[in-house]
Chains A and B, each alone.
Chain A
Amino acid sequence: MSSTSELTMLQAINEALHGEMARDERVIVLGEDVGHVGGVFRATEGLFEKFGEGRVVDMPLAEGAIVGSAVGLAMAGLVPVVEIQFLGFSYQAMHQIVGQIARLRYRSQGRFEPAITIRAPFGGGVRTPELHSDSLEGQLANVPGLKVVAPATAADAKGLLAASVRDPDPVVFLEPLRGYRGIRGEVPDDDYVVPLGSARTARNGHDLVIVAWSHQVEVACRVADCLVDEGLSIAVLDLRSLVPLDIEAIAAAVDRCGRAVVIEEAAQTGGFGGEVVATIVEECFWSLEAPVVRVSGYDVPYPVGMLEDAYVPDEARITAAIRRSLETA
């Protein structure tokens, strides 16, 4: 039995980065403030001291050139791990992410291997200034050639990040801002990977399944735990990766429960939650006993601090959504 340590998600991410840089000398970390200071959240702490300025690089403030130069590094056979300081800052690199990284293998018909990981914190709840809390997983999942990963636990963060760095295709690795220090759990000390594309059953249940990812998984679990007292058996499915999507796990859970609530923090229109609902309808229409209910952000820019608690899906809204579904005969 291998040993474990209790870590925050941030510590688990840091451990994965240390492990990957030690395992493969082609791995190079680049981003804003990732070197000397160890990242604004300290996700890259200790890497600069251990692996040196040649492999842990403080870059000029230019997201397009950070991501764009990663394309060239990959062409040279390196394995770049890029940190975008906040996912909302990736707007200034979107032309390189969508138009270049996601197509490098395709455009070159397999000649160049885009083994690039882009890490970025996202999501709200910590009173950041504007643009620091945007959830873009829906936009990113709509880009052919990109994998999109969003862990919800510390152990998954370590194993999924290791898998992302080792993956020969580009991965956008989304880290919940609120979860950096708020999510903690037992993390195996050993080196391990969690394969991309497999969902995790966070709670077993048979009355209704909540489908969620990233920080909302924890919220969903709290709701499920509260409703046990009422005799309700609520399952929680943590998608872990949006691309590739574990269609079979979604279908199995919904077939078993007959009712589903899908949660996301992004604006509702065009969000990835809609994709999950469409998948449920395609796969499980005849098992459904009630319409699928969505709980999401609203179709507005992510609001400023005094309003954000009203925007982000919380226990009350999720519980209300569950009751609405259960009320349908």
Chain B
Amino acid sequence: MTRPSDEQLRAILVDMVEARAQAGRLWNLQRQGQIGTLAPIDGHEAVVAATAHALDPVSDWILPQYREPLALQRFGPEVLDQYMLYNIGHPDGSCLPPSVRVAPLQISLATQIPHAVGLAWGMTLRHQPGVTTVFFGDGSSSEGDFHEAANLAGVLQAPVILLCVNNQWAISTPLHQQTAAESLADRAAGYGIPGVRVDGNDAAAVFDAVDEARRLALDGGGPTLIEATVYRLGAHTTADDPTRYVPAEDLEAARTDDPVHRLAAHLGELGLWDDDTQAQIETTALARIDDAFKRAMAQPLATDAMFDHCFITDTPRMARQRAALLATGPHSHPSTPEVDQ
């Protein structure tokens, strides 16, 4: 077990603080009608950032669900730029450059888990060192794809980390209605793989767990299921109203264990963090996301881009359809801002 150094913890906290600040900005942009529906990261910052720091961005892969991008800076600044494109509804929003080992966001729950197993398996077959890490939630752990993929990972001994972020809620469905199991990590026994439960609000503990699972996988020891327990501090998505179902007292209690505050307090005690530092990082993070938003809105977009990359080349019928679409003339993009006359 390797505990993260104080410097590593500080780097993790920088990513967490940036993610929290930028999540606030995204929420406002959505409320202004500037971007589409998105899933806020609030409460997941430590799990995502600490995992990213325990992995090697050069050799390891991350397959996200949809709540993670803001805390994945370690895997490349392009992640934020693409996430802005994604949120404004630009097709380039799911296309990261080859150097960034992050898969597209996945809206269909748990479907990315067999992908992660297949990718890890394929890397082994191609003699490429590295592990894949796949994020999914407590709700996704009820999906068939989770069980099928975890079982397959065990059979293949694939170098994959199955990272279940248990935030207690699947939109409005609480964990006890999701499963009768006491712990999601316990399920690992049924697949013959190790299962670990970790406090997801403790960045150091998450780092440890991921680091250990990674070492095991690289040594040929196969997959690990990690259950990181957190509490969803925000809404499921911008379209959700959690006040209708999250007990206020539960949320209040969870806020006393806020992962960002917790790590800031720890590093503050060590003299590595203070309010000024945090304010400065927040300012930089907001400038960065505002810049990303501006650039995303300026990204060119042809109407017939909807045909691109469906196949490597259009079928004859699609070629006709593309020509017909182009013949209808230019279309305005709904989130393109009005140009001042």
Measured CB to CB, the residues of A under 8 A from B are 28, 54, 59-60, 62, 64-65, 67-78, 95-96, 99-100, 105-111, 113, 144-145, 147, 168-169, 197, 243-248
- Which residues 90-145 in B have Cβ within 8 Å of A in the complex? 91-92, 94-96, 98, 103-104, 108, 111, 113-123, 125-126, 128, 132, 144-145
Q: Give the CA-CA distance A105 to B314 in the complex, in Å.
A: 13
A247 near B317 (CB under 8 angstroms)?
Answer: yes
| Interface hit among B148-156, B193-201, B215-223, B254-262 | B148-156
Closest CB in chain B relative to A98 CB, distance in Å? 10
Contacts of B122 in A (CB 8 A): 72-78
* Residue contacts A-B, CB under 8 angstroms, 30 given: A62-B148, A64-B114, A64-B145, A64-B148, A65-B114, A65-B117, A68-B113, A68-B114, A68-B117, A68-B148, A69-B115, A69-B152, A72-B115, A73-B119, A74-B118, A75-B103, A76-B125, A78-B125, A95-B111, A99-B111, A107-B94, A108-B95, A108-B103, A109-B92, A109-B308, A110-B308, A111-B96, A111-B98, A145-B311, A244-B316
Task: Judge whether B5 is part of the interface by a CB distance below 8 angstroms.
Answer: no
B310 near A65 (CB under 8 angstroms)?
Answer: no
Given contacts A69-B149, A109-B309, A244-B316, 13 further A-B contacts (CB under 8 A): A64-B114, A68-B118, A68-B149, A71-B118, A72-B132, A74-B122, A76-B125, A77-B126, A99-B111, A105-B310, A108-B309, A244-B315, A244-B317
Range for the number of chain B residues in contact with chain A: 35 or more
Q: Give the CA-CA distance A77 to B98 in the complex, in Å.
A: 12
Query: Which one of A68, A71, A113, A169 has the greatest number of beta carbons of chain B within 10 Å?
Result: A68
Task: Judge whether B58 is part of the interface by a CB distance below 8 angstroms.
Answer: no
A100 near B108 (CB under 8 angstroms)?
Answer: yes
Closest CB in chain A relative to B80 CB, distance in Å? 17
With contacts A72-B115, A72-B116 taken as known, whether A65 is within 8 angstroms of B148 at the C-beta atoms is yes
A245 near B317 (CB under 8 angstroms)?
Answer: yes
In chain B, what residue has the closest Cβ to A92? B144
In chain A, what residue has the closest Cβ to B97? A111
Contacts of A78 in B (CB 8 A): 122, 125-126
In chain B, what residue has the closest Cβ to A247? B316
Task: Judge whether B270 is part of the interface by a CB distance below 8 angstroms.
Answer: no
In chain A, what residue has the closest Cβ to B123? A76
Contacts of A111 in B (CB 8 A): 95-96, 98
In chain B, what residue has the closest Cβ to A99? B108
Task: Judge whether B312 is part of the interface by a CB distance below 8 angstroms.
Answer: yes
Q: Give the CA-CA distance A105 to B308 in the complex, in Å.
A: 9
B148 near A107 (CB under 8 angstroms)?
Answer: no
- Which residues 300-328 in B have Cβ within 8 Å of A in the complex? 308-312, 315-317
Q: Give the CA-CA distance A147 to B314 in the complex, in Å.
A: 11
B121 near A69 (CB under 8 angstroms)?
Answer: yes
Closest CB in chain B relative to A65 CB, distance in Å? 4
Contacts of A64 in B (CB 8 A): 114, 144-145, 148
B148 near A105 (CB under 8 angstroms)?
Answer: no
With contacts A65-B145, A78-B125, A96-B114 taken as known, whether A107 is within 8 angstroms of B119 at the C-beta atoms is no
Contacts of A96 in B (CB 8 A): 111, 114, 145
Q: Give the CA-CA distance A74 to B114 in the complex, in Å.
A: 12
Contacts of A109 in B (CB 8 A): 91-92, 94-95, 308-309
Query: Which one of B103, B309, B312 has the greatest number of beta carbons of chain A within 10 Å?
Result: B309
Contacts of B116 in A (CB 8 A): 72
Q: Give the CA-CA distance A245 to B108 in the complex, in Å.
A: 29
Closest CB in chain B relative to A66 CB, distance in Å? 8
Q: Give the CA-CA distance A197 to B309 in the complex, in Å.
A: 18
With contacts A99-B108, A110-B95 taken as known, whether A76 is within 8 angstroms of B118 at the C-beta atoms is yes
Contacts of B125 in A (CB 8 A): 28, 54, 73, 76, 78
Closest CB in chain B relative to A61 CB, distance in Å? 9
